[in-house]
Amino acid sequence: MQEIIVNLAISADEYLKNYQNPRINVSTTSVDGRRVHFPANILQPFVSRNGVHGRFCIRFDEKGKYQAIERC
């Protein structure tokens, strides 16, 4: 299984305005400099009243299919 690590700082207002739709993708840069895109709905368990903040490990299979996300 492969892994990408990203640091996110998304305010609650920004999340509600831009990422609440499950068809929307988050676009960011991983800690190793790669540009990554992933469905915003995988962040749902981590949304608080302050938004989504922290370092996350996103795991995917050899074909690039999402498998899991967790704080790291």
Say if residues 59 and 69 touch (Cβ distance below 8 Å): yes
- Mean pLDDT over each residue of the chain, to the nearest integer: 93
Distance CA 59, CA 70 (A): 9
CA 23 to chain centre: 13
pLDDT surpassing 80 at residue 16: yes
Nearest to 12 by CA among 49, 45, 43: 49
Q: Where are the domains of the chain?
A: 2-71
Q: List Cβ<8 Å contacts ≥24 apart for 14-18.
A: 14/51, 15/40, 15/43, 15/47, 15/51, 15/52
Instruction: Tell me what pLDDT residue 34 has.
Output: 94
Q: Does domain 2-71 have CATH number 3.40.50?
A: no
pLDDT surpassing 80 at residue 4: yes
pLDDT digits (tens, 9 = 90+) for 43-53: 999 999 999 99
